[in-house]
Amino acid sequence: MTEITVAEAYLALLKARGVDVLFANPGTDFAPIVEAYARAGETGLDFPTPHTIVHETVAVGMADGYWQASGRMAAVMAHVNVGTANALMGLINARRDNVPIFMAAGRTPVTEKGRKGARDRGIHWGQDMYDQAGMLREAVKWDYELRLADQLEAVVERALAVAATPPRGPVYFTMPREIMAEPLPGFRLSPEPRQKPVSPGLPDPATIAEGAAALSAAERPLIVANRGAGWQVLADFAERFAMPVVEFWASRASLPGDHPMHGGFDPGPWLRDADAVLVLDAMVPWMPAEQDIRPGCKVVQVGADPLFSDVPMRGFPADIAIAGDPAAVLEALAAEMTLPPKGRRDEVARRCHEGREARIAAAEAGNGTPMSPGWVGRCLDRALPDDAMIFNELGVPLPALTVRDPLGYFGGSLAGGLGWGLPAAMGAKLARPERMAVACVGDGSYMFANPVACHQAGASLGLPVLTLVFNNGIYNAVRRAALSVYPDGHASRANVMPLTSLEPAPRYDLVMQASGGHGERVEDPEALPNALSRAVETVTREGRQALLDIAVGVP
């Protein structure tokens, strides 16, 4: 067999351990990686499929969406410290949302001469750092720099195992160019990894019994979910025990939108009367400055890390904290709980139905000029197939949608790093090409996503994603924050609130057209359904990207 290099062994190891794709924005540190792919036919090694992505925000976002849609980890590789810096915001999002990503970067060559891969460009001095990983250490679960070639298998397997162990998250691995270029005599892949992810442990029976007793004794229990909780398991649990489920700040769908126990998206109306709250993997189950629990209300927190120990300050009560997979915990609780009193299910279902009807009516009423984001959501709900995957970043209001599938909706991480939605939808489309992927993004979020890089990658990789830009011409999150802190302040009375305007707005539809996709500007609410039909047709029948630049009002 041809003698292989560390770079070749590294790529073969990733593939053998289940990493099928590599999103990369290459630089001078990639020479051994480039050579490895070029001579793959000679070595006979199997590598992850490489995808050249021309900005790291896009690469990390695609890796995020790829995992969300498939449950398979992707690898990303960036150019030394500068590429890492561009990737950082996406990693912050992934860390807060428990998304595993194998993030790698080259390292400026250590030696100045005498070794293959030694420094030969001026930037190799300019990009040198004392601690390249220091800039992102809080955004990853683990980081390490490969120091010796014969460490490779153990280090890569450790990284993959740590990333996939709940609570999951990204890891960071760096390699100096000289080490990547070194030969690795006698390298043989072990048939099985020697380090594997930790399986979720079984919930403690005594704690389960305590939680079951508290929930069974409650007359008005409430469930708050944030990022999925077994879908059918939660649906059955909520139905059986007549508990309303509120999806607050949802980053993944937890329950069908038309489920009779779906209590909406604001815990406030339920929380004021609740005497027990079951929190399912929700970092922020309610807003303490605006809402509070009743005295004596028991709070049961469930998740891989129910105390969210990586968040420096989080003061939500945890009278009972149960570590474990939420679906497994729900099944364990159900086995210990008593059924609710007769009549509670009908009363809860009535309130849930009334709330849903009110939300839909409010959204349908938004068909004036400019149209409301809720109206766009209602039109989108009617236009999309049931198995469409929506990636929402400050775009469509979730209450306007009817999510029918566990992969039907994904929202941005509570870290709030902008530019996630469109790349994530692209990664999901790559992972699940048979399903439609839709990015619903605010105009600011769209610009943060490096849209030229996104649409170039979409064209290059053949990813027909539908993008809806909710264009209100302002940073509405900034506006809302200012009004929250200073409701009667000077900014509230300004014709144009300082530091919020995004005018003059570019022609976002033309940005899409520049990459060969269908782009259309929509200002008339009555024209939106037909525009959506044309865009869906472009994506599903023609296999091309499409974008609608939709003029919406400020809610």
Domain boundaries, the chain: 6-181, 205-350, 365-551
Query: Which CATH code for domain 365-551?
Result: 3.40.50.970
Same fold, 205-350 and 365-551: yes
Place of tokens 């809720």: 374
What pLDDT score does 151 carry? Answer: 94
Burial class (CB in 10 A: 0-12, 13-18, 19+), 208: buried
Q: What is the reported pLDDT for 253? A: 95
SS3 143: strand
- Candidates 220, 215, 275, 288; CA nearest to 248 is 288
Structure tokens at 183: 């030969």
Q: What is the pLDDT of residue 1?
A: 55
Domain topology for 205-350: Rossmann fold (3.40.50)
pLDDT of residue 79: 97
User: Which pLDDT tens digit goes with each residue over 249-303?
Assistant: 999 999 999 999 999 999 999 999 999 999 999 999 999 999 999 999 999 999 9
pLDDT of residue 534: 98
pLDDT at 381: 97
Please name every residue paired with 323 in a beta bridge, in sequence order, or none if there are none.
303
Q: Is 117 helix (H, G, I), strand (E, B) or coil?
A: coil
Q: Write out residues in the chain with pLDDT < 70, as ranges.
A: 1
CATH class (in words) of the domain with range 6-181: alpha beta
Three-state DSSP class for residue 550: strand
Type of residue numbered 80: V
Q: What is the pTM of this model?
A: 0.97
